[in-house]
Amino acid sequence: MILELHAKNFALFEDIDIEFSDKMNVITGESGSGKSLFLSILKSLLGEKNEFLTEKSEVESRFLINGEEFVINLKISPSRMSARLNGEMITLADLKNHVSGWMDIHNQGISQILKDPKNHTNFVDIFSSTIYNQLKKYRVLYNRYVEISKFIKTNESTNLETEIENISQEISDIEKFLISDEEYNDIRDEYKRQSGIVDILKMIKETEYLVWGENGIEPILGLVLKNVKEMEKIDKHLPFLKMIEEIKASLMDLKKNTTDYANSLEFDQEKLYDLEEKINQIEKLKRKYGPRLSNVNERLGELKNRYEQLNEVNIQLKNVREDFANLMDQMKTIALEIKQMRGLAAETLVKRINENLEDLSMQNAHISFIQKETDFTQNGKDQIEFTGSMNPGMPETSVSKIVSGGEMSRLYLAIESSISGNLPISTLVFDEIETGIGPRTSDVVATKMKEISKNTQVIVITHMSQIAAVADRHFKVQKHQSNGSTYSTINEINGKERQAEIKEMFGKMPNQ
């Protein structure tokens, strides 16, 4: 409910500061005094702009909703409007979403609560306690249904099995060629050696030719050795004969070792290709995940972790699908029971509504309902929508499309009276509810409003003395003129002042 309302410089209202009763509040005043302007202040709490503002104005209100206080601050200029909720800036759309759940205004505009067919279903459910009890059981299942649906949708949309298969292949590709740095160095060395064998053999042949060929070192050294030996015959103390003989022996050892080394070399073209492929694949891994093999190892670990996670999710998904099928069967069973109970309750409710409409001088109005099949919602698998006609000969259609302001207010009264004051809203604002009714009907309206206010805060803007007389708090709007300017005020009245106001209203009531 709304506890307090403050406003500054709101068109003709220079300063408003009022506290509402949590029960029935009435706003009265002469025509043109500013009652409609006051209603515009309440509408601004729903984010509605006022076209008559010519300067900046401020509106502040304090609501009490389920034991929690909410303070709304508005700053309004002719061109823009800003809002804060408990000190935090919010959009006008957020403002409307919040306040429309707390306060509903009935005037020439369509009531938001009757405009939404979902609320029609709520009326029926509030009316029947057995539906409410079944709904509590159903909503436990529905909450699980929403949770599982989200889980399935999220994971199915990611092509889980395809991702698992792709990751598995990627892991296999890495593991097929990934080795340690030491092993990789050995492979590169072996590749270098294998790829150089042909060159080595060629160079050995060239070396053999240079050393042992026709004009090589060894034949020339033989001639040198022959000459030295001839010299030795002349000089027994020749100092370099031994040296040349050692060189000759070394060349013989060199020939043997060279031949042995050449014989040990085995060129394997297939092995060379295999080594080259391994090196290419490893370099490919390094380019993709590297630049080092350690980076490739890290990526492999990440892929394995992801693979395990996805496998676990896949197992959960399979289990959840089985649970989901069972859950839907349970929901269908309860939803069908709710649908049947809701149809019977709606029949009884519209009967009471029509009786109340007759009490409210709307004998020509007739309310019915249609019951539609829906997907699973938090309310089951069906929806009630009130339909009807306000005048004879008019086709039945949704009540949100057929009723005028006064009719809407009385229809709301008829519904509220039928469900014993348990509307899903904490504050009801009525304007022009007396349109088209006389004093006798006003007595009925006043009685029903007083009954409603036991459970729901009511604010009524009225010209009817019967309605004003039963209010818990009475506020009067007055227009004043001073020094060539015009302004309006709204103040609570009590005692003799209130008695005088009600008496004056009674004297101005039209004869019926």
CA-CA distance, 72 to 99, in Å (whole number)? 9
DSSP character for 222?
H
Examine residue 492 and state whether it is found in any structural domain, yes or no. yes
Task: Output the pLDDT for position 482.
Answer: 84
Which structural domain range is residue 221 located in?
172-301
Query: Crossing angle, helix 129-156 and helix 293-359, to 10 degrees?
Result: 150
Residue 207 tokens read as: 């070396």
Examine residue 294 and state whether it is found in any structural domain, yes or no. yes
- What does the longest C-alpha to C-alpha distance in the chain come to? 171
- pLDDT digits (tens), the chain, 512 positions: 999 999 998 988 989 999 999 999 999 998 888 888 999 999 999 988 877 777 889 999 999 998 999 999 999 988 889 999 999 999 999 999 899 889 988 765 545 677 777 788 988 988 887 898 899 999 999 999 998 888 887 776 567 778 888 888 988 888 888 888 888 888 888 888 777 777 777 888 888 888 888 788 888 888 888 888 888 788 877 788 788 888 888 888 888 888 887 777 776 778 788 888 888 888 888 888 888 888 888 888 889 998 888 888 888 778 788 888 889 999 999 999 999 999 999 999 999 999 888 888 788 888 899 999 999 999 999 999 999 887 777 788 888 776 565 677 778 788 888 886 666 788 989 887 776 666 677 888 888 888 888 888 999 998 888 899 999 999 999 999 888 888 899 999 999 999 999 888 876 544 43
Q: How do beta strands 81-85 and 68-76 pair?
A: antiparallel
> Domain total for the chain?
2
Examine residue 122 and state whether it is found in any structural domain, yes or no. no
Task: Output the pLDDT for position 22.
Answer: 94
Q: CA-CA-CA-CA torsion for 79, 85, 90, 93, nearest 10 degrees?
A: -80
Q: Which residues, at least 6 apart from 457, have a Cβ–Cβ distance to it below 8 Å?
A: 1, 2, 20, 21, 22, 23, 25, 426, 427, 428
104 and 178 belong to one structural domain = no
Of 286, 301, 316, which marks where a domain is finished?
301
> Tokens 């709710």 sit at which residue?
338
Examine residue 29 and state whether it is found in any structural domain, yes or no. yes
CA-CA distance, 179 to 184, in Å (whole number)? 6
Global confidence as pTM: 0.59
Examine residue 395 and state whether it is found in any structural domain, yes or no. no
Task: Output the pLDDT for position 404.
Answer: 61
177 and 291 belong to one structural domain = yes
Of 255, 271, 301, which marks where a domain is finished?
301
Residue 401 tokens read as: 């499309």
Task: Output the pLDDT for position 42.
Answer: 93
Task: Output the pLDDT for position 418.
Answer: 85
104 and 176 belong to one structural domain = no
183 and 290 belong to one structural domain = yes
Task: Output the pLDDT for position 403.
Answer: 58
Is the Cβ–Cβ distance between 53 and 77 less than 8 Å?
yes
Examine residue 164 and state whether it is found in any structural domain, yes or no. no
CA-CA distance, 454 to 475, in Å (whole number)? 19
Task: Output the pLDDT for position 402.
Answer: 67
Task: Output the pLDDT for position 341.
Answer: 94
99 and 179 belong to one structural domain = no
Of 301, 323, 351, which marks where a domain is finished?
301
DSSP character for 403?
-
Task: Output the pLDDT for position 342.
Answer: 94
184 and 255 belong to one structural domain = yes
DSSP character for 439?
H
DSSP string, 287-341: HHH-SSHHHHHHHHHHHHHHHHHHHHHHHHHHHHHHHHHHHHHHHHHHHHHHHHH
Residue 191 tokens read as: 């590749």
Examine residue 312 and state whether it is found in any structural domain, yes or no. no
Examine residue 217 and state whether it is found in any structural domain, yes or no. yes
Q: What is the pLDDT of residues 313-334, one digit of tens each?
A: 888 778 788 888 889 999 999 9
Q: What is the pLDDT of residues 48-82, one digit of tens each?
A: 887 777 788 999 999 999 899 999 999 998 888 99
CATH number, domain containing residue 408: 3.40.50.300
